[in-house]
Structure formats: C-alpha cells, structure tokens
Chain A
Amino acid sequence: MLKKVGPTEIRATHRASCHCGAVVLELDLPNGIVDPGRCNCSMCRRKGAVVAAVPLSGLRVVKGADVLRLYQFNTRTAKHYFCSVCGIYTHHQRRVNPNEYGFNVGCLEGVDPFDIPNVPTSDGVNHPSDRRPANR
C-alpha cells in the first residue's frame, strides 16, 4: 500500500477529479493506495490508467454525477464511468468484485502516477471471471 506518492501524502479521505473539473470524487483511503495496477484488457489498455480499488461505500461522487457517462461491454458486468466533457476515466464498478470500485489513481489530487514505481499489469484479456477453476 502507498501512503505517499511523490510529495503527496494520501489522506484518509482524498479527493479526486477529472481533467476539466466537472467530476469530483471523494475516496476513503484509510490504508493509502492498495495494490495499484494496470490491466491489459481491450478497454484498460486503451485507458492505460493505474487503478486501485475501494469498497463501494468508499467512493462518493460529490460533483458531476450528471456529467458522468457509463460504458459497458462484453458481459456488461463492469460499469465504466468517465467524464462526458473531457473523457477522463474516473472509476468503475469491478467485474472481478462488484462490491468494489476501481478508480483512476491519476485523478487523486496531487498524485502523479509516474511517481509510482513497478506497477504490475494484470491479465484482463484472460479475465479471472472467465477462467475455469483448476482441477475440475
């Protein structure tokens, strides 16, 4: 977990916003940024964002709910939200765990994702929910 990125301390409740400022989120990050990662699925590789997760209760849209646009594809389980003005992906309800939101770490106030070293990329092409359990 990351409690500090570059010069920025991650606060227990940290604000995040899109580029144009139309969308503002409030995120509960009591343990900092937990397991930041990228994913290589057809959607995530276009976005390229560093993503971390919070429980659904840990994310609040404090401004711009009417500006957020929802995009769904494939199984349409995950709900991907982005700002309809500037296109920035802000967060998504995860397919692998619908009780969590993934969020764009770069949207956190004062956080430059380039300051996070060695971000792992998960295999979203072969999504965990598509894989058969072993030994069956």
Chain B
Amino acid sequence: MPNSPTSLQSYEGRCHCRAIAFVYRTALALEDWPIRACQCTFCRLHAGLTTSDPAGSLVFIEEKPEALNRYEFGLKTADFLICRNCGAYIGAMTRSGASRFGIINVRVLHSLADRLRSPERMNYDSQGASERQARRELRWTPISA
C-alpha cells in the first residue's frame, strides 16, 4: 500500500539541553530505516548515525533560536545543525530552489538505538557538489515549512 499521511509515524528528537529539536515522520518500520555512518571527518568526530526517507517529512524546531549553530564546511552544500549550548548534532539540511531536504542524527532520538539496523559505512568524498545535491534530493527527507 502506498504511504499515506495517516501511515506515517512521528519520531521526536532533541539535543541534550532541549534547545533544538526535530519531528521526523516516516512510514518505514524502525528495523527498515537505513542507518548511515558517513565517514567524512565531521560525521566521524560527531559519531553521527543518520537516516532519511524521501517519502517522509521533517521539521526542525528551534525552541531557543539563538542556540542553533548552522555549521558549514568543505563544499558548504549543507548546514549541519548543532546546539550552541550542549554541542549535540541533531541533523543537517540542504536547499534546492524553494525546497529543503534534511537528515536526522538518530543518536538524539530517545531509546531507539537497540532497535535500529547496524550502520552502513558511507563515503561520499569523491562526490562533487552537484552529485551531492542530486543524491540528497533523491534520498533526504523533504523538510516541511
């Protein structure tokens, strides 16, 4: 059955001090979530484990807008969302025209870790900016307004 809005489950994640958060909606069962351990220098140091669903939706919430640090590096094609207060990395977003796409760091979801798949190591170092953008538009979760 195709995904319908009613089949989407909501998952809330937040940084440790609760200043920034997200609501991720997906119809995928937890055990079917793709879990990616990107091997870039940033993700390795943050030990990021990310997921996304092109058929899902994502909203980032700034409980304390001044706490949101949008960190860019390398090709600067995405913003990595970090809490200025507690340092947690909650996810990333990229823009394409009027659209925005995002990933979440599953480490900031509550008590799901043991139900998720083992992470798959990903290496995107060889991709240029346009390849990255194409991959993200295809694979990342659309961000709702």
Query: CB distance B45 to A104 under 8 Å?
Result: yes
A88 interface hit (Cβ, 8 Å): yes
- Binding stretch for chain A, among B57-65, B85-93, B129-137: B85-93
B: number of interface residues (CB 8 Å): 29
Q: What mask results when residues 2 to 17 of chain B are scored 1 for a CB within 8 Å of chain A, else 0?
A: 0000000000000111
CB distance from A98 to the nearest CB of B (A): 20
**Residues of chain B within 8 A of A104, CB atoms compared:** 45
**Residues of chain A within 8 A of B117, CB atoms compared:** none
Most chain A CB atoms below 10 A, which of B71, B84, B86, B107: B86
**Residues of chain A within 8 A of B143, CB atoms compared:** none
Which residues of A are interface residues toward B (Cβ below 8 A)?
A: 18-20, 42-43, 45-50, 69, 71, 73, 80, 82-89, 104, 106-107, 112-114
Which residues of B are interface residues toward A (Cβ below 8 A)?
A: 15-17, 37, 39, 41-42, 44-49, 69, 71, 73, 80, 82-89, 107-108, 113, 121
Query: CB distance B107 to A48 under 8 Å?
Result: yes
Query: CB distance B16 to A46 under 8 Å?
Result: yes
Query: CB distance B47 to A113 under 8 Å?
Result: yes
